[in-house]
Structure 1
Amino acid sequence: MQNNLADRADAVRFPHYAVAGQAGTSFKPEHLPAILAASDRCGFFEVHAENYMGAGGPPHRALERIRQDYPVSIHGVCMSLGGPQPLDPDHLQRFKALVDRYEPAMISEHLAWSTHDDIFYNDLLPLPYNEATLTHVCDHVDQMQSVIGRRIFLENPSTYVAFTDTTMAEVDFIREIARRTGCGLLLDVNNVFVSAANHGFSALDYLKDFPLESVEQIHLAGHAEQEDGAGEKLLIDSHDRPVADAVWQLYEIVLSRRGPVPTLIEWDSELPDWPVLRAEARAAQAILDRHSDTGGLRDAAE
């Protein structure tokens, strides 16, 4: 029986696909028939880890079908790396099992917290940037990487409030995490634009200081414009519409400095038909292709 199980495990292992210089999209099961019927291929697909932590069923059947033909990126949303309490060991093991099962090309999580005691919030909450927070975030990143046996990419947040006990700039905080833990970075360009508008700083200056040499993946998404209680403009990282022109422009600037990096179009609600989402990925791919010969900081580092 044990030999039969081992043979079966070897038989269902997935092929390796490169993601360098590729654009991808969020994978939504409702798009599966259209994806399979399409004559061309999107570069890769990304899924939220927590949607696939059950043992089986339709979600896994859909993802297994996609993984046969495409590389997959796994994006965690509930690890709460920025929280002060220990990481949930059961959640870590479920995450590891998912990584082992699908052999993703990329693995990422958020610089945020979302749990307190036994309460789980439906938000990715910000944290103060200071030495105490830095220490426990680095400890959590080290723990996650050790348990899953893979390097992760840490995503910069979109934020709507700031803390009075912050003593470090966000870019310096993120740079130090990457230095101490060896993790890569996931640069969400829309998050930069949203946070810059909400807090009144320059997105260009933020990107100028950002440690682009550690960026291994990029996210692009749409955002919504609302008003806060004082009637001031407030941008929300909503993932429910096309990428804004200003975010595309920032993306061009990043690639001109960094060179082509695997790029994902995030679209998580108000889902369009597959051709609309595919067109967004094609737009990102066209920009990646224009920068494919520039090399950017990657070549300079080598």
Structure 2
Amino acid sequence: MHRDPAPAPVRSGIGLRQPHLAALLDSRPALAFVEVHSENYFADGGAALAALHAARAAYPVSLHGVGLSLGAAAGLDTWHLERLAQLVERIEPVRVSDHASFARAPRHHGAAPVHAGDLLPIAFTDASLHILAANVQRVQDRLRRPILVEHLSAYLHWADDRIAEPQFFDLLARRSGCQLLLDVNNLVVNALNAVHAAQVDGGARGTGAEAAAVAQACAWIDAIDPRHVGEIHLAGYTDTGDIVIDDHGSRVHAPVWQVYRHAIGRLGPRPTLVEWDTDLPALPVLLDEAALAESVLAAAALQPEPA
């Protein structure tokens, strides 16, 4: 008897924001998962948590945090980690992630650390790697699962950086057993800012600069061990003329799609999220971006897995 081939698995998802919830649950589009910011659901009850449970009944949920401060020498905030652990137990997310950044710093005279409220870049040094790996391990021990760690869009660098960024994350994954959340938009933003700063192609803001940035971002991906990448993020950015800002407020730009296609060709299909956090569009626009990612994933699924 002839059997139709099984449909390819959907691997793309969207960042879920409250204005889209009702339309999403009403239409139930084909999505692999939705992702929310963990800290928005730390309360023990209320409308936000009820909405998250409704979303979880319809889709797998990925929890993406911005406040663990995994790179902080001051250590983790125990309250924050406990709230995250309780949320993980309630939601049973498909993945849990946060950033390779620090936001907590010690006050003077032994007072409690202060939280900066921002994702500040860490140095790529042996000492920083030791701190990050220890904090990641503490989170994983408490959650009883591996987490994913995202690299940053960074607008400054430390003078004592000595480890190349892809190597740094490979070492982190080997030491802690975590995975990497590969943010293609972050790579392109960093590369564009580096190209502009170096005045490549005469400093022009045209295709020459974009091509150089794409090549730099692809080289970053080529340097990472594919086994360590557990999820990919896509988003939009804004070029102000002086600096490129990772604002998640527009459609994914052409250079990011170029690098994403390279990433999937190099790594094989990976769960992919489209982030959109500012100037939210109507839900169909966001779903259209996810469909574009799905088309890249579907094309890659027809190719042999990378060695």
**Corresponding residue for 2:172?**
177
- Is structure 2 residue 131 aligned with structure 1 residue 136? yes
How many angstroms apart in 2 are the aligned matches of 1:23 and 1:214?
A: 19
Higher mean alpha-carbon deviation, 173-182 vs 118-127, is at 118-127
3-state SS of 2:248 partner: coil
**Corresponding residue for 2:251?**
242
**Corresponding residue for 1:167?**
162
3-state SS of 1:37 partner: helix
**Corresponding residue for 2:84?**
95
**Corresponding residue for 1:278?**
287
Instruction: Using the TM superposition, give the Cα deviation of residue 40 of structure 1 relative to its aligned residue in structure 2, in angstroms.
Output: 3.0
* One-letter amino acid of the counterpart of residue 141, structure 2: S
1:20–1:262 Cα contact (<8 Å) kept: no
1:219-260 C-alpha deviation (Å, 9 max, x unpaired): 000011124xxxxx3111101111001101100001111111
1:11-36 C-alpha deviation (Å, 9 max, x unpaired): xxxxxxxx975100011121111112
2:10–2:30 Cα contact (<8 Å) kept: no
Aligned length: 275
How many angstroms apart in 2 are the aligned matches of 1:39 and 1:159?
A: 36
How many angstroms apart in 1 are the aligned matches of 2:189 and 2:28?
A: 36
Distance 1:178 1:21, change over 3 A: farther
- Is structure 2 residue 201 aligned with structure 1 residue 206? no
* One-letter amino acid of the counterpart of residue 106, structure 1: R
Determine which of 32, 35, 38 is the counterpart of 2:27: 38
1:53-99 C-alpha deviation (Å, 9 max, x unpaired): 00111111111111111000000110000111110111111000010
- Is structure 2 residue 42 aligned with structure 1 residue 53? yes
Q: TM-score of the superposition, structure 1-length normalised?
A: 0.88
The list of structure 1 runs, each at least 4 consecutive aligned residues, that deviate by more than 3 angstroms after superposition, is none
1:168-206 C-alpha deviation (Å, 9 max, x unpaired): 111111110001011111100000001111223721221
Consecutive unaligned residues of structure 2, counting only runs of 5 or more, are 1-7, 107-112, 196-212
3-state SS of 1:291 partner: helix
3-state SS of 1:158 partner: coil
Distance 1:20 1:31, change over 3 A: same
Determine which of 103, 117, 120 is the counterpart of 1:122: 117
Question: How well do the aligned residues superpose, as a CA RMSD in angstroms?
Answer: 1.5
**Corresponding residue for 1:65?**
54
